[in-house]
Structure 1
Amino acid sequence: MRPKIAIGITTYVDISGREFGAAIYQAHEETSKRLTPNKIRIWSAKHDVGTAYDFGSLWLTVMPFEKREGKGPDKGKLIEKGEFHVGAEWSRTGSLAGRGRVDFRPEIDRSLCDTLSIEFNYDPKIDWSVLFERIVDVCKPAYGMLHLFTELELSRSEGKDRFERFDGPLVGEGSFTSWKTSEGHWRSPDKWQLAERRYYRFLPQLSWANYFGSEFDGEVDAMRRKTGAGGIQRNEDGRFLRITDAISDVIDRQEFFDTEREKLKSCFADGFFRW
């Protein structure tokens, strides 16, 4: 299996505007022109893209819907009416193949998050940190991750449950707030308890690069006190944490990477990592 890069973004910023789509395209282009998306799919419709404007124009598609009582020609009384906010799915074809998708919060609950998932074939010549940091600047996430997945990394998730798996872009509130009961059932905070939903307490595993927004404040502050701020870089909205200096360490210095990862994990509260 060819190693894969994964970037996952979970944000409460409304990133549905076309300017966000254009900025994500530009983040790819400024990192390397070999990364720029050239195809977009909106459900079954496929489009070629070649500029940030093209990409931004297809970033969000609004589709109206209505639900009625019956199924016949008349269909009966209107029960519900609204809009689907459909996010783009894109790809980059060629030797450095990649794909991504954006998912927007539903119209009926604007308190939920938007998510961004990106995967690429790994190339050591690309500075993946640049792409990650530029996307973080655009999205201001509650959590962002960048990791290099190898066969070994993927094998460690085999047989694990949904929120325990660490095998690709890690996104969505449930990844950070859901817990497993003693009976083996997954539970999540009450959807009406906004403060509880925004208190992030878990990760399945520590990625090579992590961005912790304010939702992780309690967990990261405790970790920071233990490490003396080593490895943590702060910006105005959150904190970056990298395990080593180079993402290639996941492959080229695997034992060293594993050791450094376990050292950092030991500084977080017991139970913060699902395994």
Structure 2
Amino acid sequence: GHLVTLTENIFDVADNFPLFSARRAELKKLLRPGFIRLTNEPLATELPENSTPRHATPPDPDNTGKPAGMIGGNSGVSLSLDSTFKAQLQIAAATKAPYALLVTPLNQVISKELWDRVHEVQGTVYQINPPETIETIRILKRPKSAMRVPYIKISIVTDIDTTKWEFGRKVLEAFYETDSRLAPSRLDSDAKIWKLFRGVAACEKYWAKEGIINANKSGRGRVSVKWDCGWTRSEAVEYRYDMIHTMVNQFGELRPGWLKGDADADRKIDWRRLFHRLVELANPQFAILHLFTDIETRDDAFGADEHAIIATDDFLMGPPAAILKDRGIPNLAWATFFGREYTQEIDAEKLRANGFAVEAMGDGHLVTLTKNIFDVADNFPLFSARRSELKKLLRPGFIRLTNEPLNQATSPPVDFGPRYAPLLNGSWVIPTMRG
């Protein structure tokens, strides 16, 4: 091949951008039209005069425009202060670079921790609505618990090796076996490979696709990884499930796996059967199966204080291992599995004596609060009373949320018609500096 450079020194890009820009524009004219996708050049007056980033001014909150500086985002339904956001915000705090958190309609919840940290570094939050428009609108109120309801949530935290195809095959078969309408219609990977779902056997090469990433900022260290996997259904029962694989990082630390998903709340499906099978396969640290309705997802459902708001966000998300470790269990779900880490906390005989269904499974216990998961919608006072009763039988402080939502008599009846469950859960980050 051929190596083409535009000026004598790479720092001409910073020290003399007009020269670099002119040379690039000139080269584009010598190439086939359409070969290079970007034909325009930035205005040189907007760019830094040296290698120190200029602190650009974010858009006027009363107008729309493209945020400048460092841009962070994630296509998950619920955004929390994860390691990626922490790293970005640390750089923004150290360099004083403007920071913008860019969200889309898919981002339905932003945790209070992330929201506060963005504003601590004088950052801003903008919403963009692709593909209709690329203009951004500043968001002044934190999106809280805005998921479409009702929906079924399953969240399973496990430390077994989830990358083995034997495990993946059994997980996907569990959906088939529970209800044919749960057969995935698409399978994807972090490599953005989409394939029509043609049966379990066709999924093997996508379940834990191998890849290489840089292990440090210098790029000298490289490690082999197994990409996470997700599968969706857009007909009959709409859902999205993701398998974030168990892995050992470059420091030799175990990162537990996380199988999670949201689905239309279809009454004909035996959700307990599916959950039971997945728990059998994963022998998890912790797992929940819950039906979320507007009673628990509305603003400040469990209280308006900071502790309650953060715990509510964690409950809605279905807590991953990092949150369980740092903050503990946010709340009890209709079905909660307590793994070996919680053996000392669960007195199975005591709970059974008080009328709770407790089943020994693997290294832990599965506890359900009522006979049917749809009691959460049909008879929330009963479900709420049972949850409050169970909390009193557990160690004080073991469950973070102690209050129960008020069951408003004026609430509209729960609609279990076709709904769009939260979809497209991946991640994207645009680390960029510009004037």
TM-score by length of 1: 0.81
Q: CA-atom RMSD, angstroms?
A: 2.3
- Tell me if 1:20 matches 2:143: no
Paired letter, 1:210: T
- Aligned pairs for 1:56-95 within 5 A: 56-66=204-214, 79-95=220-236
CA distance in 1, matches of 2:278, 2:204: 15
The worse-fitting range, judged by mean Cα deviation, of 160-169 and 47-56 is 160-169
Query: Of residues 247, 255, 262 in structure 1, which corresponds to 2:388?
Result: 262
Q: What's the counterpart of residue 150 of structure 2?
A: 3
CA distance in 1, matches of 2:344, 2:232: 37
- The CA deviation string for residues 173-194 of structure 1, in whole angstroms up to 9 with x for no partner, is 2232214xxxxxxxxxxxxxxx
- The CA deviation string for residues 207-235 of structure 1, in whole angstroms up to 9 with x for no partner, is 000111111111113x7536537421113
Q: Give 3-state SS (helix, strand or coil) of 1:241's partner.
A: strand
Q: What's the counterpart of residue 374 of structure 2?
A: 248
CA distance in 1, matches of 2:383, 2:338: 20
- Aligned pairs for 1:151-230 within 5 A: 151-155=294-298, 156=301, 160-179=308-327, 202-221=328-347, 224-225=349-350, 228=353, 230=356
Pair member with larger Rg: 2
- In the comparison of the two structures, how many residue pairs are matched? 245
Q: Structure 1 residues 69 and 7, CA, compared in 2 at 3 Å: closer, same or farther?
A: closer
- The CA deviation string for residues 139-188 of structure 1, in whole angstroms up to 9 with x for no partner, is 11111110001111112268655454255452422232214xxxxxxxxx
User: Any stretches of 5+ residues in structure 1 without a counterpart?
Assistant: 71-77, 180-201
Instruction: Tell me how far 1:38 sits from its aligned partner.
Output: 1.3
Instruction: Tell me how far 1:67 sits from its aligned partner.
Output: 5.9
User: In the alignment, is the contact (CA less than 8 A) between 1:249 and 1:257 conserved in 2?
Assistant: yes
Paired letter, 2:153: A
CA distance in 1, matches of 2:157, 2:353: 27
Paired letter, 1:245: K
User: Any stretches of 5+ residues in structure 2 without a counterpart?
Assistant: 1-147, 402-435
Paired letter, 1:21: G
The worse-fitting range, judged by mean Cα deviation, of 121-130 and 99-108 is 99-108
* Percent of residue pairs bearing the same amino acid type: 24
Q: Structure 1 residues 263 and 123, CA, compared in 2 at 3 Å: closer, same or farther?
A: same
User: In the alignment, is the contact (CA less than 8 A) between 2:249 and 2:255 conserved in 1?
Assistant: no
Paired letter, 2:227: V
Instruction: Tell me how far 1:110 sits from its aligned partner.
Output: 5.0
Relative to its length, the structure with more strand (as a share) is 1
- Aligned pairs for 1:109-188 within 5 A: 109=252, 111-155=254-298, 156=301, 160-179=308-327
User: In the alignment, is the contact (CA less than 8 A) between 2:165 and 2:204 conserved in 1?
Assistant: yes
Paired letter, 1:32: D
- The CA deviation string for residues 79-117 of structure 1, in whole angstroms up to 9 with x for no partner, is 311023211111011131001111122442352211100
User: In the alignment, is the contact (CA less than 8 A) between 1:153 and 1:167 conserved in 2?
Assistant: no
